[in-house]
Amino acid sequence: MDIATMPRGGFDASWLDRRLQTDRPEFLDRNDIDDRIKRGVIRWLDRMGRVLRDHEHLAGRALPLVSDIAEPRILELGAGHGALSQAVLDMHPTAQVTVTDIDPISVSNIAAGELGRNPRAVVRQVDATDIGAPDRSYDLALFALSFHHLPPAQAARVLAEATRVADRFVVCDIYRPAAAVHVLRLASMLPFALVWPFAHDGLISSLRAYSASAFRALAASADSAITVEFSRLGRNMVVVASRTT
């Protein structure tokens, strides 16, 4: 089966689940959208993450994976605003963090802020599908609430790259519920999505979120040596990927 054509719910997705997806890009993915709108969406993502303490919760879930390493080397992919990396540095006194994003404006903003001035942080522009680092350069790689932006073929490539350069790869993204529940979620979001850019992108994100079944297929397509484990973290799903060899 061609991974590029895989439904977001996986190859075994139901008839309804296969229709609860879209190729329509979010504002954050479009080049024809005013940059002020994009920055506004990112600010709201950061604000909601701080209110719900998403960054601290995910850092708290991920850091035990490197508890036996004195100075863990941690890579964040698709950092956006960099709040997760900041939480990692705040919670671990000796961690060394490489903060990356493919968007040059996001990278510039992070570098100009508090995180960019932290001596334990390095800020770089990096394409997560082509990380450009030697094998096992990092003890842990993180990708938070952005994985759904990737179409299946690119998502598989990111899984391959991240598990190559890091011993463990933690993805936290929107949990994709059963189709009937998903319909109710989308219906509740639609009125806001028509007038609010943040809600617009949130609705599309939900439609593009991958299920656990899809993650298994992506990992198998990337490399048969990649294993994945799943857990829940509030409204999100956490995936820990690593290689068996």
Is residue 123 situated within a structural domain? yes
DSSP output for 107-139: HHHHHHSTGGG-TTEEEEE-BTTB----TT-EE
CATH number reported for the structural domain that contains residue 142 in this entry: 3.40.50.150
Mean residue pLDDT of the chain comes to 95
Is residue 194 situated within a structural domain? no
Structurally, the chain folds into a number of domains equal to 1
Stretch 125-145: mean pLDDT, rounded? 97
Query: 């054509």: which residue's tokens?
Result: 5
Local structure of 174: helix, strand or coil: strand
pTM for this model (two decimals)? 0.94
Stretch 202-225: mean pLDDT, rounded? 97
Stretch 221-236: mean pLDDT, rounded? 96
Report the pLDDT value the prediction gives residue 160, as an integer from 0 to 100. Answer: 98
Is residue 121 situated within a structural domain? yes
**Which residues contact residue 219 at a Cβ distance below 8 angstroms, ignoring those fewer than 6 apart?**
156, 159, 226, 227, 228, 241
Report the pLDDT value the prediction gives residue 244, as an integer from 0 to 100. Answer: 85
Report the pLDDT value the prediction gives residue 68, as an integer from 0 to 100. Answer: 96
Contact 148, 141 (CB under 8 A): no
Is residue 106 situated within a structural domain? yes
The residues facing 231 across adjacent strands are 238
Stretch 177-181: mean pLDDT, rounded? 97
Specify the range with the lowest mean pLDDT, choosing from 32-41, 120-129, 173-182, 197-206. 32-41
The residues facing 124 across adjacent strands are 100
Specify the range with the lowest mean pLDDT, choosing from 49-53, 120-124, 152-156. 49-53
Specify the range with the lowest mean pLDDT, choosing from 34-48, 97-111, 213-227. 34-48
Spatial distance between the Cα atoms of 158 and 142, rounded to a whole number of angstroms? 11
Report the pLDDT value the prediction gives residue 49, as an integer from 0 to 100. Answer: 81
Spatial distance between the Cα atoms of 217 and 194, rounded to a whole number of angstroms? 33
Nearest to 229 by CA among 140, 178, 177, 169: 169
| pLDDT at residue 159 greater than cutoff 80 | yes
| pLDDT at residue 80 greater than cutoff 90 | no
Report the pLDDT value the prediction gives residue 112, as an integer from 0 to 100. Answer: 95
Tallying the residues shown for the chain, one arrives at 245
Specify the range with the lowest mean pLDDT, choosing from 43-52, 58-67, 133-142, 168-177. 43-52
| pLDDT at residue 35 greater than cutoff 90 | no
At residue 173, φ and ψ (nearest 5 deg) are: -150, 175
pLDDT level of residue 161 (50, 70, 90 thresholds): very high
Is residue 158 situated within a structural domain? yes
Stretch 7-28: mean pLDDT, rounded? 96
Is residue 201 situated within a structural domain? no
Which residue range forms the structural domain that includes residue 72? 25-176+224-243
Local structure of 180: helix, strand or coil: helix
Is residue 64 situated within a structural domain? yes
Report the pLDDT value the prediction gives residue 52, as an integer from 0 to 100. Answer: 87
Is residue 233 situated within a structural domain? yes
CB-based burial, 8-24: b 16+ in 10 Å, e otherwise = bbbeebeeebeebbeee
